[in-house]
Every structure is written in C-alpha cells, then in structure tokens.
Chains A and B, each alone.
Chain A
Amino acid sequence: MRLILRRIVGQLGFDAVEAEDGQAALDLLRSSEEVPDLALIDWNMPRMNGLELVGAIRADSHLRHMTLVMVTTEGEQSQIVRALAAGAHEYVIKPFTAGAMVEKLALLGLVPSGVQA
C-alpha cells in the first residue's frame, strides 16, 4: 500500500518518505529538520497504530500543524469519528482509486482541483 500511495503522491509532485509502522513514522518525523506537509496514515499498523500516531502528532508542538489523512479499511462511522476526533483531517477508505485520493487532497487544498494522478 505504501508503494501505491507513494506513486500517487509522487505523480502529484510530492517527495514521499515511508515508515513501516506508527512508531517508525513518529521517530522519522521527530528527527526530520523539515516538517512534511502531509501524512497518509494507515490505521492497522504494528507497534503504534494509526490512531495513536495521529494523537502523538497532534500532541507534538513541532508536528501538530501537519495535514493528516487516515487511509484505512476501517469504514465504520464510529471509527471515522474517532479518527477525526483524534485530529485527522480526512479519511480515505480502502480500496480506493487514485482519483479518489486526489479528490481528497484537492479538498484539503494540497493539490489543485481537476489534477489527475
């Protein structure tokens, strides 16, 4: 899934970095000199799940302004509410098409409307 996402955002002009789980992502973010514009976060990850990662990013003064998008199979309304309440800006349910992802990023103002991956 990381490769699919990387390809989509790469075609939109983003430079992407990957992490294999939530804790690795948090460590990577905290060690980065430059805060990324966007994080695409899976819910179901080892060590630190996506919801915990969203909370950790929101609690970090250095990272808290990042745009966070949950990319997950968790499609239940209650789960979506939990993710948004924790601080995610948007929610993309797998399986998704490249077009659906681009639409979400356009809604967040990260890519111009009408752009295709």
Chain B
Amino acid sequence: MTVHLAPTIEDLSEIAEQVWSSYLDPEGEAPLFPVGPPDPDAVVHGDVCASVSISGAWHGHIVVSCSAVAARYAAAALLQMEVGEVMPDDITDALGELANVVGGNVKSTLPSVCTMSLPHVVVGSGVTNGWPLTVPVCELVANWRDELVVLRVLRSKSDLAGTTDQ
C-alpha cells in the first residue's frame, strides 16, 4: 500500500493567512476569518472560480472561489487600485494569481515530483463544480469583507485507488 501525504486544513489556513497578509490585507485591516465547517453547497458555487491543476505523484486541483464582490475587492487589493476602477480582466488576472500562489504553496506539501498547471479562471453567476471526478481533501470556508471565500483542495478519485492519505 502506498502512503501519500495530503495537505490539511491547517496547511490551507496557514497558506491563506500568508497570502492575505502579504497581498490582500497587508495593513491587517480586513483579515480572512474562517467561518466553521465547510458547507457542501457553498463550496461548489461562486461567482468567480480560479483553479490550478496538479499532476505527477499527486493528481488534483486547488480551487479559489468567491463572490463577485469579493473578487473585485481582491483584484483592487492585489493590483493596488480602487475598487471602482477594477475591470473584468483585472478580476481574471488577480484571481488567477491567487490560485497560482495558493496552489503553489499547497503543492509544496505534496509528494514529489508534481507539476502545476497555469491558472484557469471562470467568471459567472453560480459557477458550479467543474471537477466531478474528484473528492475534497480539505476546504477552508472563510469570510472576507462580509463576503464568502472558499479555498479547496480536490483530489482525483483515480488517484485514491490503492493509497491511504494521512
């Protein structure tokens, strides 16, 4: 039996805290607050959904999803602009970069050797789960500026055959 390490909710929370304190809330004025156990309905819906895919010794996806309002706040913070100036392309760029940074840090908790894809961003009301052949490994549901933000690590079902996660 193969034993593979997997990222934990603690890993994901620590990564999120670092990302927020570095890019989205450097002044500590609007921290990210975890809001308790994941809500299965909440984690599959969002106005903006950015993801990166991992392949190699571990297969899956790291997904950042949030409301349109949160995405606009994130783009403004990341790109150092006023919220009212944010354009659709800014949201795509910013959320893609967030997924890239979160994903890259999650990847560092995975077994070697893995490679990470470029970010993929979907914008639209009620974006649904685009990864049906996966199972959640860990999920961080959080509140940021009174908006829902969800970070998820999904693992390929086919990857789980004959393995045990720790």
Chain A residues within 8 Å of B, Cβ to Cβ? 1, 3-4, 7, 44-46, 72-76, 78, 94-97
Chain B residues within 8 Å of A, Cβ to Cβ? 18-19, 21-23, 26, 78-80, 97, 100-101, 103-105, 107-108, 112-113, 116, 118
Asked whether A97 lies within 8 Å of B26 as measured between CB atoms, the reply is: yes
Partner of A95, one of B18, B112, B113, B118: B18
Chain B contacts for A1, CB-based, 8 A = 97
Asked whether B112 lies within 8 Å of A76 as measured between CB atoms, the reply is: yes
Closest to A74 in B: B104
Identify 19 residue pairs between A and B in the complex whose beta-carbon atoms are under 8 Å apart, listed by A's number. Answer: A1-B97, A3-B79, A4-B23, A4-B78, A4-B79, A4-B80, A44-B100, A44-B104, A46-B118, A72-B104, A73-B101, A73-B103, A73-B105, A73-B107, A75-B104, A76-B108, A94-B101, A95-B19, A95-B105
Nearest CB on B from A22, distance (A):
12
New contact pairs (10) apart from A1-B97, A3-B78, A76-B107, CB-CB < 8 Å? A4-B79, A44-B104, A73-B100, A75-B108, A76-B112, A94-B100, A95-B18, A95-B19, A95-B23, A95-B105
